[in-house]
Every structure is written in C-alpha cells, then in structure tokens.
Structure 1
Amino acid sequence: MNERVELRIDGLSHDGQGVGRLDGQACFVPGALPGERVAVRLHSRAHRLRLAVLERVLEPSADRRRPPCILADHCGGCSLQHLDDPAQADWKRSRLVETLRRLAHLDPIVAPTLASPQPLGYRNRAIIPLERLPEGPLRAGYYRRGSHRIVNMNRCPVLDPRLDALIAPLKADLEISGWPVDRDLRDGGGLRHLSLRVGHHTGEVLLTLISSHDEFPDLADWAQRWLDRWPTLVGVTLNLQPRPTNTLMGPQTTLVAGRSWLMERFSGLDLRIATDTFFQVHTTQAERVVTLLLAALAAETPGVLVDAYCGIGTFSLPLAAAGWTVHGIERNAEAIRLARINAEINTLTDRARFETANVAEILEARLTGCDALLVDPPRKGLDPTVLRLIRQCPPASLLYLSCDPATLARDLGQLVEGGLYAIASVQPLDFFPQTSHIETLAVLRRTG
C-alpha cells in the first residue's frame, strides 16, 4: 500500500505521532502536528487504524520549528523536536488532563507543566546501541523510529554536553580496538551497548561497556588510557548481558579501572551513584520534585514517612534532612546498599532506614504509624496489592510520583473511590523534553 493522500491532523497520540481521520479511521503520522494539512503516503493498516509516512507539510502549525538535531527525522530517540518547547509543555498538560478524565472520570485542577530550564543537554545518562556491519566501520546510535536499525550518530543534543563530547572519540577507539561488536548475539557475542553517566553538579563521569562476554584484549590498557585522557572520567566498568532480551544491562558489573561509582551533589546532599543505578536522568527537574515534596509536607510536623520504591534514597534522604523519619523500601539489593552508604555519607542514618523487600509484601507492616507515604512506582503503576493495603491503612498524606498518565489515572481513581482521599494538587513536570514522556506529582490527603 503506497497510496498518497492529503490529511488534516487533529491531535497527537500518546507517543507524539500526529493523528488524523481517513475514511472514519485514525491515521497516525510521525512528524505531523495538530492543525496541519499534510501530504502522506499510506504504508500499512493495523486493526482499526492506518499508518502513514509524512511526505510534505502543506499548511504548517504555528508551533512547528526546525528540529535542533539533524537526525530528528530518522532517530527514534526523540519524537517532538519539531514542536517548540512551550507547545510541548502545553500538550503534556492537556494529555494528562484528558487521560485523567477519560480513564478515571477525574477532573482535578492540573497546574501548568513545570517546563525544563534545559530543553537540550539535560540527560545525565545514555545507553547507546553499537553495531559493526560487514561492509563498514563501527556504528553507534539510537534506533530508527519503529525499527531495530541504528541511526549512526556522533553527537546527541539532548545529552549533557560532557557526555556528548565523548561519543565520537570513543567510537573511534572502539573501532581501532578491533573488539567484536554483536548487539543481537548473532555471531558469537561481543560489545552490545556503550553506557555513559555524568554527575550534573560534580562533572564526574562513568563509562561502561555492555557486552555478552569479557574477552577483550588490552581492555585494562584502554581503560587506563581513557582515564588519563579525560580527567573527569572516574571509572570504567564492564557489564555482562549474555542473554538475548530487551533488558539492556545484566546483573554482573565488574570494575576495569578507576572506581565503580561517581559522586553527585543533589538537593544539598552527596549521593553515590553506580553505573547500573536507577537515578532520574534530568537532575534539575528531580531537584524540583524535592522542592515540591517539601512544600506539600510543609504544613505537617515531620513524622514518619515511608518511601516505597526508594532506589538509592534520591528523595528519601532530602526528606530525612528536612526532619522526617524515613523508611525506604526497594527490591533491588544493590540500590539499598547504596542508599545506606548515602545515608552514612550525609550523617542521616538516625533518620533514614532502608530495607530490601518487595513493596507488596512489606508495606502492610510499614504503614502502621506512618504519617505520609511517597510512592514512585515503575511505569506499570501500583500493584493491586499495594493499592489494597493503602486503602486498608491510609496515611494522612500520599505523594504519588508517576511516569505514566494512564496508570496514574487508574490508581488515583481507586484511591479516591468512596471519598477515602481527596486530590490536593496535580503537578506535571517535563523530565524528558523533546519526547512525549511526562512525570506527574499528585498529592492526596485522607479525608477522614
């Protein structure tokens, strides 16, 4: 199917694709914006929708701009670079409002999106796929939209410039090394991804090679060469991921040279972060979440706060520093080890306790005597057991940090059911400019 038609775009899908109507069916057009009249080529039909390729913008939106990245039309890393920054923030709020209404019949006051002060150069971490084709040199880059093909790049404008500057020289060195590169494990294995992480405030950098095996001649020599070349590079590690899964990093990381962690200054505290640690990729916006949390709790006398899904103590420790007695829960044992180290570094062990556990299995006991609960679940939202336990023993304040409007709407609908909780505030934050992703902090108060 290669039929060419003209189309009026009415809106954006949840992943940032333009959406129009054709013969009563939704038609998805990557790169198109609401209000535009576009020429498209239809290329497939799926269920009750059609997919099309944008060929020409006939009537552009006033919000359209030239993308800041020359690869934006091909790379799947960003979906909204062609939409100017204020319009991105407005659309993200509108999407959140619409999702709350449609999925949960909720209509709270939703504040304007807290836009990022750094719409470019904000990402403190990158995991970049690698490949070496038989007919050419090593390639590194993100996947082409809707495919498993790499768009080769030497820079990425959404990355912290200190990471961006490393991509091209590291590609050159990995090419010279002659090490096998086998992202999809088709030819015996080898390097799969290049991982880079930087401390936004400290400038310390970690470099990790993700591979299916550890058979790389002169790896230690190369690692030391990199440490000598870049004074901000504090460590080189090797992560083993031998399984053909979509999970990028494996469970085993070994130190090659330097140290296996970097230090970051976050909300006035010192945090140790490892190569495989979950840490918000937009440091400035994460610090704004801390400010919002403290403001939401300002009217309460600091008591006991449970931080479910606490990670390395990113939010637990600033709340403990503000006087709360915090109990953090996290199923990842390595994250809990770092959380305890971070509590020691900041002399907060008397007010911050951490345990390795499944939230659903331990939360019932921890809610007894709890004054406030902070949840920052994965994209799938709260487990049904967790929701049931919260309803059985509801803390006076519930702070919900969400990375997915749909699961947030589902969970809020259950939490307010029967008048148990009232939604005090809903604050969207743009943690991922140039993409369709949005974070939301919802504050709930128990009504009884």
Structure 2
Amino acid sequence: MEIRIDGLSHDGQGVGRHDGVACFVPGALPGERVTVRLVHRARRHWLTSLEEVLTVSPARRRPPCILADHCGGCSLQHLVDAQQAHWKEQRVREALERIGGLATPVAAVITAPAALGYRNRAIIPLERRPDGRLRAGYYRRGTHRIVNMSRCPVLDPRLDALIAPLKADLDTSGWPVDRELAGPGGLRHLALRIGHHSGEVLLTLVSSHPDLDQLPRWAERWQQRWPQLVGVTLNLQPQPTNTLLGAETELVAGRSWLAERFCGLELRIASDTFFQVNTPQAERVVPLLLQALEGVNPGLLVDAYCGIGTFSLPLAQAGWRVHGLERNPEAVRLAALNAAVNGLAAVASFEAGEVGTLLPSWLPRCQALFLDPPRRGLDGAVLAALQASPPPCSST
C-alpha cells in the first residue's frame, strides 16, 4: 500500500499511518510517499518493509557505507547530516514535552566535528559458517543474522584497518566459534578499542571458555605486527545471554589498559570499562558542564555513574571536590588510579556500589550533582533519592 511518511521513530524508522494506525518503515524518510508491504500487526502499530520510494526527500543521500541498507549497525546513513541533527533535537524535545510534561527549552544540537571515522570502540559478533569459514559483522536489523563485513566507516580508521587482517587470522586459527552457545562454546566477539589522541590499541577476544590453542603466540605475533597494540586480553562470557562482556578478563600479552589524553588529563582505559565512544565530542561536554556550574561556589560534586572518572577528573581539576559513584569495581579502581596519575587524589574519591543505594547518603552533603546514567536511564531508587533530597545544583 501507499503511505506518506511524517516522522522518524527513536531508532530511525520512518513513521506514517494507514487507517489511523502507525506504520514503521525502515529506510523511509519524512516527506516521502512510499509503497510498503505490511509485515506484522502489533497491538498499536504495523511493522512494514519498504517496497518503493515514490516521492524522494531532498534530504535523502547515498549512504557512505555500502552495507548500510543491510547492516543494522546504523539506521540513518541515508539521511544528510544536518537533518539527522534536526531529528535528534526533535526527539529530545518530544521526550521532554510529551513524555516528561516539561516546558524546557532545547538548544540546537552541537554536531560532531566528524560524522564518520570517530568511533573509538567496536565489539563485533563472530560466527563460522557450515563450510568452516569465519564471518564477522553486525546484525541485520531485527535479527541475529550477521552481515559479513571487512570494514566499517564509522570506526576510527586506525581500528577499521585492523578488521580484515584480524578476521583472516581468526579464520585460520582453528579456534571454535560459537556465538549463540548452541554447542560446546568458543569465540563470540572481537572487541577493539583505541585511544583517539594516543593511538594505543587494545584487542579483546570474547569467548565462552579459555581453551584457545596458541593464543599467547598469536598475541605476540599481533603485537609485533602492530606496535600500537599495547595489550591483548581474553574476556570470558560463558552465559547464554545477549550480554556482550563477561565479568572476568584475563591478560594475555602486554597490558590490560591503554593510555589516553582527555581534556589535558592522562586516563587509563580498560577493554571492559565504559568510555565515551566519540572522544572529541565528549571533550566538548566539559566546558558545557563548567558553564552550567557557573555561579555555584565549588564544593562537593557527586558524579553518579562516574565510570573511570571521565568527567569527574576535569571537574576536580577545575576546582571541585568530586566523589564518584559507580557499579563496576574495575572502573572505580581505574578512576582512583587516574586521579593519582593526574595529581588529583586529594580532591577526587570514588566508591563502588549501586548508585541508588549509595546516593541518598551523599545528596545532603553535596553542592552539585552530575548524572551520566547508562542507556536505560535512572532507576527508581535514584529518582526517589533525588525527590527526597534534591541537591542545590544538578546537571544531566
């Protein structure tokens, strides 16, 4: 059937209506008239497939990646960058006004310096085909079927250049690959991380078990081939879930962390700890935080979900006494180490535990609160604590 696309969903699908029922159309853009095939009727909407674009949006472009129409890693490469920024801004405004009921002004999106080649981390699913050949790539939208790839233009080019040769080595290694744990187990993902400024690289193999024959020899070979590769680790994820990384990471060669410069500070980042994937864009956040804190006498600032101290330490350097809360004990260990490396241990402390449990005792003592929660947002315990004891100044 033919419908008109009026908007975009949160995950970049075109949204139109048929007989008053919303239709989600992957690949369609606002302003376009399209022919779609109805695929599945949910309770309140239709899922469809795009058959033909009858009226083409002037904002449509040829995607920079040749796999964009198949790979589910990106959803809006067919939309020009300026319109991507517009629709992201619109999504924020709608969330605040329609869902939150807040009449909060929304500033224009501060777009990244580079639309491609910025991502400093990749976790790439692996599989072996029935003929034994290894495939690596992201999932096709809505499936667990891998779209085989040898490069990804969203990645930092220095990481991108490693995918094809590493994929070839994993193919010839003879190691079992069992991503879905349908058999006895094996490799599940290839993880790469780079310091944007330092150029140091960490390579992590994610496996359900440690029985990878000659892994130390392969790691030594990789480090000789790529001097920027400062460490090779093995992460064990034996659980039959979609969780990408397990709780245990073993050092195979080199060191378990890379060094990176961030806002003039030296940070140590491990393969299994969170760090913003777009380093230059994350550095642009710090001046905005300091601007939000103007007029507040620097005192105690609580950084909830602090990670390795990414934002805690620049704020401490600016004169705040910072206390970070973080669930991941390894991240807390690195945050304390990063504070010591930068001479900030006297004004920056960190604590491991559930933020919702730790935060209530700190709120009455702090002058400011910074929240950088995981993608799922703030849990009920954190919201209850904020309602019971709001800090004088908060920034999210």
Q: Distance in 2 between matches of 1:136 and 1:63?
A: 43
Q: Among residues 265, 286, 293, which one is paired with 1:290 in the alignment?
A: 286
Q: Distance in 1 between matches of 2:187 and 2:115?
A: 31
Quote the offset at 1:390 in angstroms.
Answer: 2.1
Q: Among residues 162, 178, 184, which one is paired with 2:180 in the alignment?
A: 184
On the 8 A contact 1:97/1:107 being kept in 2, the answer is no
Amino acid at match of 1:397: C
Q: Among residues 163, 167, 186, which one is paired with 2:163 in the alignment?
A: 167
Aligned twin of 2:101? 105
Aligned twin of 2:80? 84
TM-score, with length taken from structure 2 = 0.98
Q: Among residues 259, 262, 271, which one is paired with 1:263 in the alignment?
A: 259
1:128 aligned counterpart, secondary structure: strand
Which of the pair has the greater relative contact order for Cα pairs under 8 Å at 6+ separation?
1
Over the matched positions of the two proteins, sequence identity in percent amounts to 68
Superposed, 1:133-144 pairs within 5 Å as 133-135=129-131, 137-144=133-140
Amino acid at match of 2:228: T
Q: Distance in 1 between matches of 2:19 and 2:193?
A: 48
Quote the offset at 1:136 in angstroms.
Answer: 5.1
Aligned twin of 1:437? none
Gaps of 5+ in 2: none
Aligned twin of 1:445? none
Aligned twin of 1:53? 49
- Residue by residue over 1:163-192, the C-alpha shift from the partner in whole angstroms, topping out at 9 and shown as x without a partner, is 100000001001111111110111211100
Structure 2 residue 29 is the aligned partner of structure 1 residue 33? yes
Superposed, 1:119-138 pairs within 5 Å as 119-135=115-131, 137-138=133-134
Q: Distance in 2 between matches of 1:363 and 1:47?
A: 39
Q: Distance in 2 between matches of 1:55 and 1:72?
A: 17
2:365 aligned counterpart, secondary structure: coil
The change in CA–CA distance for 1:259 and 1:8 in structure 2 (over 3 A counts) is: same
Quote the offset at 1:95 in angstroms.
Answer: 1.2
Q: Distance in 2 between matches of 1:361 and 1:52?
A: 43
Q: Distance in 1 between matches of 2:127 and 2:343?
A: 45
Paired positions, count: 396
Structure 2 residue 307 is the aligned partner of structure 1 residue 308? no
Gaps of 5+ in 1: 401-448
Q: Distance in 2 between matches of 1:31 and 1:136?
A: 33
Quote the offset at 1:278 in angstroms.
Answer: 0.6
Runs ≥4 in structure 1, deviation > 4 angstroms?
Answer: none
On the 8 A contact 1:181/1:190 being kept in 2, the answer is yes
Q: Distance in 2 between matches of 1:68 and 1:250?
A: 33
TM-score, with length taken from structure 1 = 0.87
Superposed, 1:30-429 pairs within 5 Å as 30-135=26-131, 137-400=133-396
Amino acid at match of 1:212: S
Aligned twin of 2:8? 12
- Residue by residue over 1:20-55, the C-alpha shift from the partner in whole angstroms, topping out at 9 and shown as x without a partner, is 111221111100000001122222222232121112
1:51 aligned counterpart, secondary structure: strand
Q: Distance in 1 between matches of 2:43 and 2:381?
A: 34
Q: What root-mean-square deviation, in Å, do the aligned CA atoms of Structure 1 and Structure 2 show?
A: 1.1
